[in-house]
């Protein structure tokens, strides 16, 4: 990609003998929004930490695109790491000095106010998440890495968070790479979907392409044998089969009703399929 | 980051300083220690407490980040891993340096008064401990385990240095088997004598410890991340292993080069042969050629018995004699127990008196130079008085004699307030009554008189056979100094006069009238010695540090006559020294040895 801003090249990260990320290569473009999904332990957070520089890969490298420097990469981890005995004021002052931020006052998120004298350890998870976001956005990041924090926010803060992220994308053309399980609120945000399983990518598609290529067939009827079934669920009352990659001609040539589904359900199908594959192996 | 860290370290150090100030008060109030000035206790507490603080400062480098879950945040700050390490380490080094500087100031002001440890020596220990704990901090997350592990590793530097010295000794060809602990003591002694305490501390705290651990940390820290420390530890230990090998090799080379094998004891025989000793053996140089002798154990002390026989002790605790006339080495005495060292020995009149230590009581033994002995045979032993055995000062034998058929020996303890004593061969002890317990600078037994110099006065005691009677006190504020570099007065010579120093003058002590008469001024202030080969001759040696000269003059008939002047002799230069012997003068100058024979002081060359 000519406008690549961040690239992982043949990354391998091990925890003991197990490879959490195995020979992964992926490039991210400027201003692109990507969601990384996958089963638990797939290596998503490990990959994100490699991109953030928090983990040094055992093999491979993370290459910064032209003009990108480390101070322009913002990372919100699920651990919400900050010095806990600091007050908000102290945290802002430190962050401002280290990242040479010119703004005097910490950027505020509309509708979300915190006292400057409060200690970080006294903040709730949601408050810490938005504090992190405020600090990182003050850096005017070119890349924002977000690791599984959205699902822990209440609906109000989740909306505030996503609005702020979208504003950053619009104003700063920030590339956002988000690890997320639940995509019900964020389904329309990502342009690109990556799904990981067992340390590797099993899917890398544009969202629109993916929504076009994945269909669901509900009901008991048999499917023609040449239609690939990614994943199937079956209960007493319902049977669903997820088809990937879907071809339009099947709609014309068979009596099967192929439904379009949202990104949330698409991701669930892929993860389910991966679990099935593991059981078979 | 640097400012935050600096403020944090200063705040913690405040607690250390407060504890160092308060602890002496508690110790003195509760009387856990004897009464002494507060500053004396504080200085000790501060100096030794700083060892633990150095450990803490190194070990705490990542402690805050770990305990406050801030490590991920710290690793995303806009600098490299080494940049982060530098910002965390520099404040600690600055604070440690500042505390050390404080201890240095305190030492300079009052340290000698209170027997404090030289801060320069302690600095090496601080650096060693700090770098060890700093280096291990990324791989050991538990703080207590880290501190204990660091202390353990720090202590490993001591045996590491010992094994290094063993390797150097082996490379130099020393035989150490059987020498036991004394063999290791020899290695330390020779290394310290050759290169000094500072060099040796540099080797075992810096080259063997601080450098490899620092190198391992610096080279591997760029791989440090938030994974459990085991992942990083593998990379760290690989680098550490390699660093240790490289710096151990460097330490070996440095120590090997520093351990001097130069001939350090050089003698001129009456027939103008040159006898040289070094730690590994001896050689005799003559017009006929060179005859070498390899001693079974490293040589520790050498003394000339009569200019032909040279008695030497070794680290195998033997006493041996090199006979230059027949070019032969024979063992005079062999210790039965290798742990009993030859502590002091004095050859005279075909015999050698020696003290063996540790012995309770110390035994003074007498052996014949010409008759080889094994342990216990042909050796006369007399118990040394127990109260003198506890003295921390070296005893010096300054006179011998025979009275009513019984031998006696006269000892004094240099710079000690203990009075001199006479030890009879039947074990009886007789004190020489110095009434005021002033430290003795030198003592002489001549013409049945004991002459004692206590720096401010000179006292002369007549030997009455079973006691000593004070017959003269010279109390003009300046004593008549009998100190000479090689005491040769154990053969009970008789003389009419002896010459010595009287303040800044050469003076004569008339042994009949017991009067001191100044005969000539000493021209240089840097150092002057009178060497006596009485009753025949007295030599005056004077050094001038500015002009870098060594002058040798004879003193005879109350006149000082310049015999020769040696140029380019710098007493301040390491290794430059001289030795006046009965047959000539040995000059060590700029790493070379020159031998000049009496009477004309022509240089002996082979």
Nearest CB among A14, A53, A84 relative to B76 is that of A53
Which chain B residues contact residue A69 at CB under 8 A? Answer: 78
Which chain B residues contact residue A16 at CB under 8 A? Answer: 230-231
Any idea what the Cα angle at residue B166 is, between residues B164 and B167, rounded to 5°?
Answer: 65
Please provide the average confidence, as pLDDT, over all residues in chain A: 86
Q: Which of A253-262, B49-58, B120-129, B557-566 has the lowest mean pLDDT?
A: A253-262
Residue B387 has pLDDT above 70, yes or no: no
List, as own/partner pairs, every contact residues B324-331 make where C-beta atoms lie below 8 angstroms and the sequence separation is at least 24, other chains included: B324/B269, B324/B273, B324/B275, B324/B284, B325/B269, B327/B284, B327/B291, B329/B282, B329/B293, B329/B295, B330/B372, B331/B372, B331/B373
Last residue of a domain, one of B222, B242, B259: B259
Q: Is residue B42 located within the same domain as residue B115?
A: yes
Q: A135 in helix, strand or coil?
A: helix
pLDDT at res. B521: 86
Q: Is residue B77 located within the same domain as residue B126?
A: yes
Backbone angles phi, psi at B283, to 5 degrees: -150, 155
pLDDT at res. B238: 93
Which chain A residues contact residue B225 at CB under 8 A? Answer: 49, 54-56
Q: Is residue A145 located within the same domain as residue A268?
A: no
Contact B70 A69 (CB under 8 A): no
Q: Is residue A258 located within the same domain as residue A241?
A: yes
Count of domains observed in chain A:
2
List, as own/partner pairs, every contact residues B567-574 make where C-beta atoms lie below 8 angstroms and the sequence separation is at least 24, other chains included: B569/B543, B570/B545, B571/B526, B571/B527, B571/B543, B571/B545, B572/B545
Last residue of a domain, one of B213, B238, B259: B259
Q: Could you tell me the residue range of the domain that residue B13 belongs to?
A: 2-259
Residue B282 exposed, middle or buried by CB count within 10 Å (0-12, 13-18, 19+): buried
Residue B369 has pLDDT above 70, yes or no: no
Interface test with B, best of A59, A75, A83 (most B CBs within 10 A): A83
Q: Taking residues B402-428, what's their average pLDDT?
A: 81
Q: Taking residues B196-204, what's their average pLDDT?
A: 82
Q: With respect to residue B136, please indicate whether it lies within any of the assigned structural domains.
A: yes
Banded model confidence at residue A2, pLDDT cuts 50, 70, 90: low
Q: Taking residues B404-412, what's their average pLDDT?
A: 85
Residue with tokens 């500042």: B98
Q: Is residue B114 located within the same domain as residue B81?
A: yes
Which chain A residues contact residue B227 at CB under 8 A? Answer: 15, 55
Report percent pLDDT > 70 for chain A.
Answer: 96
Q: B477 in helix, strand or coil?
A: coil
Q: Is residue B141 located within the same domain as residue B287?
A: no
CB of A262 closer than 8 Å to CB of A187: yes
Q: Is residue B154 located within the same domain as residue B42?
A: yes
Question: What is the rounded distance in angstroms from the CA atom of residue B153 to the CA atom of residue B168?
Answer: 23
Residue B373 has pLDDT above 60, yes or no: no
Tens-place pLDDT, residues A93-123: 999 999 988 887 777 776 677 788 889 989 8
How do B328-334 and B318-323 pair as beta strands?
antiparallel
Last residue of a domain, one of A175, A205, A235: A205
Which runs of E-coded beta strand occur in B255-340? 265-268, 274-278, 281-286, 289-294, 299-304, 309-314, 318-323, 328-334
Question: What is the rounded distance in angstroms from the CA atom of residue B541 to the CA atom of residue B564?
Answer: 10
Contact B72 A79 (CB under 8 A): yes
Q: Could you tell me the residue range of the domain that residue A144 belongs to?
A: 4-205
Q: Is residue A270 located within the same domain as residue A253?
A: yes
Which chain A residues contact residue B223 at CB under 8 A? Answer: 56
Residue of B nearest to A58 (CA): B223
Q: With respect to residue B404, please indicate whether it lies within any of the assigned structural domains.
A: no
Q: Is residue A227 located within the same domain as residue A197?
A: no
Last residue of a domain, one of B203, B231, B259: B259
The b-or-e profile of A190-219 (16+ CB within 10 A means b, else e) is bebbbbbbbbebbbebebeebbebbbbbee
pLDDT at res. B361: 45
Count of domains observed in chain B:
2
Residue of B nearest to A52 (CA): B76
Q: Is residue A33 located within the same domain as residue A142?
A: yes
Q: Taking residues A27-47, what's their average pLDDT?
A: 92
Tens-place pLDDT, residues A238-248: 888 888 888 88
Residue B501 exposed, middle or buried by CB count within 10 Å (0-12, 13-18, 19+): buried
Last residue of a domain, one of A186, A205, A224: A205
Contact B76 A56 (CB under 8 A): no
Q: At what angle do helices B180-201 and B229-258 cross, to 10 degrees?
A: 100
Residue B35 exposed, middle or buried by CB count within 10 Å (0-12, 13-18, 19+): exposed
Q: Is residue A162 located within the same domain as residue A233?
A: no
Q: Taking residues B505-509, what's their average pLDDT?
A: 87
Q: Which residue has the higher pLDDT, A244 or B197?
A: A244
Q: Is residue A201 located within the same domain as residue A225?
A: no
The CATH number of residue B296's host domain is 2.130.10.10
CA of B5, closest CA in chain A: separation in Å?
11
Residue of B nearest to A132 (CA): B73
Q: Does A275 contact B at CB distance below 8 Å?
A: no
Q: Which residue has the higher pLDDT, B188 or B256?
A: B256
Q: Is residue B232 located within the same domain as residue B337?
A: no
Q: Does A96 contact B at CB distance below 8 Å?
A: no
CB of B345 closer than 8 Å to CB of B359: no
Q: Is residue A198 located within the same domain as residue A112?
A: yes
Q: Is residue A57 located within the same domain as residue A147?
A: yes
Q: Say how many C-beta atoms besides its own lie within 10 A of residue B489's C-beta.
A: 21
Residue of A nearest to B73 (CA): A81
The CATH number of residue A72's host domain is 3.40.50.300
Q: Is residue B194 located within the same domain as residue B322?
A: no
Q: Is residue A58 located within the same domain as residue A138?
A: yes
Residue A18 per-residue DSSP state:
E
Q: Is residue A34 located within the same domain as residue A134?
A: yes
Please provide the average confidence, as pLDDT, over all residues in chain B: 82
Q: Does A77 contact B at CB distance below 8 Å?
A: yes
Contact A82 B70 (CB under 8 A): yes
Q: Does A61 contact B at CB distance below 8 Å?
A: no
Q: Which residues of B touch A (CB under 8 A)?
A: 1, 4, 64, 68-73, 75-79, 222-228, 230-231
Backbone angles phi, psi at B511, to 5 degrees: -80, -5
Banded model confidence at residue B485, pLDDT cuts 50, 70, 90: very low
Residue A7 has pLDDT above 80, yes or no: yes
Q: With respect to residue B208, please indicate whether it lies within any of the assigned structural domains.
A: yes
Residue B299 has pLDDT above 90, yes or no: no
Q: Is residue B70 located within the same domain as residue B209?
A: yes
How do A229-234 and A239-243 pair as beta strands?
antiparallel
CB of B529 closer than 8 Å to CB of B487: no
Q: Is residue B240 located within the same domain as residue B275?
A: no
Q: With respect to residue B246, please indicate whether it lies within any of the assigned structural domains.
A: yes
Tens-place pLDDT, residues A144-178: 999 988 777 888 888 888 888 888 888 888 899 99
Which of A202-216, A265-279, B169-183, B527-541 reaches the highest mean pLDDT? A202-216
Q: With respect to residue B57, please indicate whether it lies within any of the assigned structural domains.
A: yes
Q: Is residue B218 located within the same domain as residue B308?
A: no
Which of A22-26, B452-456, B478-482 reaches the highest mean pLDDT? A22-26
Nearest CB among A56, A69, A79 relative to B225 is that of A56
Residue A263 has pLDDT above 90, yes or no: no
pTM check: above 0.80: no
Q: Is residue B224 located within the same domain as residue B342?
A: no
Banded model confidence at residue B188, pLDDT cuts 50, 70, 90: low
Residue of B nearest to A94 (CA): B1
Q: Is residue B138 located within the same domain as residue B188?
A: yes
Q: Taking residues A83-88, what's their average pLDDT?
A: 90
How do A143-147 and A73-76 pair as beta strands?
parallel
Question: What is the rounded distance in angstroms from the CA atom of residue B507 to the CA atom of residue A183?
Answer: 108
Last residue of a domain, one of A205, A226, A250: A205
Q: Is residue A61 located within the same domain as residue A88?
A: yes
Tens-place pLDDT, residues A218-238: 887 777 788 888 888 887 788
Tens-place pLDDT, residues B236-253: 999 999 999 999 999 999
Banded model confidence at residue B376, pLDDT cuts 50, 70, 90: very low
CB pairs under 8 A between A and B: 57
Q: Taking residues B391-404, what's their average pLDDT?
A: 77
């Amino acid at each position: 990609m000519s406008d690549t801003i961040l690239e992982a090249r043949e990354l391998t990260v091990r925890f003991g003998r197990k490879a959490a990320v195995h020979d992964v290569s992926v490039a991210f473009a400027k201003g692109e929004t990507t969601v990384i999904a996958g089963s638990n332990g797939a290596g998503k957070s490990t990959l994100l930490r490699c991109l953030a520089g928090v983990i040094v890969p055992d093999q491979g490298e993370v290459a910064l695109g032209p003009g990108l420097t480390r101070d322009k990469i913002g990372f919100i981890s699920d651990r919400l790491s900050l010095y806990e005995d600091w007050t908000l004021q102290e945290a802002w002052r430190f962050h401002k000095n280290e990242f040479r931020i010119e703004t005097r006052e910490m950027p505020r998120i509309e509708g979300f106010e915190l006292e400057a004298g409060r200690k970080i350890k006294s903040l709730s998870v949601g408050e810490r998440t938005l504090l992190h976001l405020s600090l990182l956005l003050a850096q005017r990041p070119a890349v924002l890495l977000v690791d599984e924090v959205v699902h822990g926010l209440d609906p109000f803060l989740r909306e505030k968070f996503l609005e702020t992220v979208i504003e950053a994308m619009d104003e700063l053309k920030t590339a956002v790479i988000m690890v997320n399980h639940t995509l019900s609120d964020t389904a329309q945000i990502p342009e690109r979907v990556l799904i990981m399983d067992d340390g590797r990518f099993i899917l890398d598609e544009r969202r629109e392409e993916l929504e076009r290529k994945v269909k669901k067939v509900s009901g008991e009827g048999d499917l023609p044998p040449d239609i690939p079934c990614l994943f199937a669920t079956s209960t007493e009352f319902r049977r669903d089969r997820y088809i990937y990659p879907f071809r339009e001609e099947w709609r014309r040539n068979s009596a099967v009703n192929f439904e379009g589904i949202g990104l949330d359900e698409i991701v669930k199908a892929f993860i389910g399929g991966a679990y099935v594959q593991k059981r078979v192996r | 980051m640097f400012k935050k860290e600096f403020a944090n370290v200063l705040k913690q150090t405040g607690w250390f300083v407060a504890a160092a100030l308060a602890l002496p008060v508690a110790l003195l109030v509760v009387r856990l220690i004897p009464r002494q000035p507060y500053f004396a206790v504080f200085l000790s507490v501060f100096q030794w407490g700083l060892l633990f603080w150095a450990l803490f400062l190194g070990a705490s480098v990542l402690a805050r980040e770990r305990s406050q879950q801030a490590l991920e945040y710290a690793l995303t700050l806009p600098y490299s891993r080494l940049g982060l390490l530098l910002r965390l380490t520099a404040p600690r080094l600055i604070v440690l340096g500042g505390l050390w500087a404080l201890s240095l100031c305190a030492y300079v002001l009052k340290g000698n008064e209170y027997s404090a440890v030289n801060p320069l020596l302690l600095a090496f220990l601080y650096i060693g401990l700090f770098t060890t704990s700093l280096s291990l901090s990324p791989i050991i997350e538990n703080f207590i385990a880290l501190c204990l592990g660091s202390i353990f590793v720090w202590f490993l530097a001591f045996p590491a240095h010992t094994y290094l010295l063993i390797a150097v000794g082996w490379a130099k060809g020393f035989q150490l088997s059987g020498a036991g602990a004394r063999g290791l003591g020899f290695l330390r002694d020779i290394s310290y004598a050759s290169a000094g305490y500072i060099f040796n501390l540099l080797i075992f705290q810096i080259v063997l410890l601080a450098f490899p651990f620092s190198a391992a940390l610096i080279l591997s820290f760029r791989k440090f991340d938030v994974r459990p420390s085991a992942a990083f530890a593998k990379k760290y230990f690989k680098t550490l292993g390699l660093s240790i090998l490289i710096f151990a090799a460097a330490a070996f080379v440095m120590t090997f080069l520093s351990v001097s094998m130069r001939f350090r004891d050089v003698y001129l025989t009456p027939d103008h042969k040159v006898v040289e000793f070094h730690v590994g053996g001896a050689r005799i140089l003559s017009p006929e050629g060179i005859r070498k002798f390899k001693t079974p154990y490293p040589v520790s002390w050498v003394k000339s018995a009569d200019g032909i026989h040279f008695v030497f002790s070794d680290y195998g605790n033997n006493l041996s004699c090199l006979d230059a006339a027949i070019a032969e080495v024979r063992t005079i005495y062999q210790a039965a127990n290798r742990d009993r060292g030859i502590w002091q020995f004095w050859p005279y009149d075909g015999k050698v008196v020696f003290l063996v230590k540790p012995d309770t009581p110390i035994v003074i033994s007498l052996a014949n130079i010409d008759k080889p002995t094994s342990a216990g045979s042909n050796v006369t032993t007399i118990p040394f008085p127990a109260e003198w055995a506890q003295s921390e000062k070296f005893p010096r034998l300054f006179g011998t004699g025979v009275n009513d058929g019984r031998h006696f020996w006269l000892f004094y303890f240099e710079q000690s307030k203990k009075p001199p004593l006479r030890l009879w061969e039947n074990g009886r002890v007789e004190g020489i009554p110095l009434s005021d317990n002033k430290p003795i600078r030198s003592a002489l037994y001549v013409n049945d008189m004991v002459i004692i110099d206590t720096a401010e006065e000179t006292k002369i005691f007549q030997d009455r056979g079973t006691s000593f009677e004070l017959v003269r006190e010279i109390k003009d504020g300046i004593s008549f100094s009998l100190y000479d570099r090689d005491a040769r007065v154990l053969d009970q010579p008789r003389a009419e006069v002896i010459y010595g120093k009287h303040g800044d003058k050469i003076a004569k002590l008339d042994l009949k009238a017991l009067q001191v008469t100044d005969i000539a001024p000493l021209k240089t202030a840097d150092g002057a010695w009178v060497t006596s080969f009485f009753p025949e001759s007295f030599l005056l040696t004077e050094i001038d540090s500015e002009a870098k000269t060594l002058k040798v003059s004879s003193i005879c008939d109350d006149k000082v006559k310049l015999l020769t002047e040696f140029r380019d002799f710098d007493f301040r230069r390491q290794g430059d020294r001289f030795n006046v012997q009965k047959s000539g003068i040995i000059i060590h100058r700029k790493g070379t040895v020159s031998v000049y024979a009496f009477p004309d002081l022509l240089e002996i060359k082979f």
